[in-house]
């Protein structure tokens, strides 16, 4: 992911067209890599796609053609739900 350093609105002849969102979007491949790098969970793309279709994972923020784009913060929140705490040792 590339950080968005320029948060100024896009302009043509000093007229603002659209404000740039302060958060980038990631594809399914990018979401899988983000989850693996952040939490170390070896999640496949199909798991994310199936969970999104079933309403468990977040819905795509944007659909561009056939490409689904997700917000990284929503993907990381979803990934936290996949991690279960280790059970305490039985005495």
Average pLDDT over residues 61-84: 90
Confirm whether pTM is higher than 0.85: no
Q: Dihedral (C-alpha) 37, 24, 29, 72: value to the nearest 10 degrees?
A: 50
* pLDDT confidence tier of residue 83, bands split at 50, 70 and 90: confident
* pLDDT confidence tier of residue 87, bands split at 50, 70 and 90: confident
Do strands 10-12 and 15-18 pair parallel, antiparallel, or not at all (unpaired)? Answer: antiparallel
The confidence score (pLDDT) of residue 22 equals: 53
Q: Where are the beta strands (DSSP E) in 13-81?
A: 15-18, 62-64, 67-69
Contact between 75 and 60 under an 8 Å Cβ cutoff? The reply is: no
Contact between 73 and 30 under an 8 Å Cβ cutoff? The reply is: no
Average pLDDT over residues 6-18: 53
The confidence score (pLDDT) of residue 89 equals: 82
């Amino acid at each position: 992911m590339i950080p968005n350093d320029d948060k100024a609105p896009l302009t043509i002849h000093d007229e603002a067209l659209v404000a740039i969102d302060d958060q980038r979007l990631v594809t399914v491949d990018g979401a899988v890599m983000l989850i693996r790098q952040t939490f170390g969970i070896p999640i496949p793309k199909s798991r994310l796609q199936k969970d999104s279709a079933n309403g468990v994972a977040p819905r795509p923020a944007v659909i561009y053609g056939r490409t689904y784009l997700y917000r990284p913060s929503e993907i990381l929140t979803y990934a936290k739900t996949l991690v279960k705490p280790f059970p305490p040792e039985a005495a």
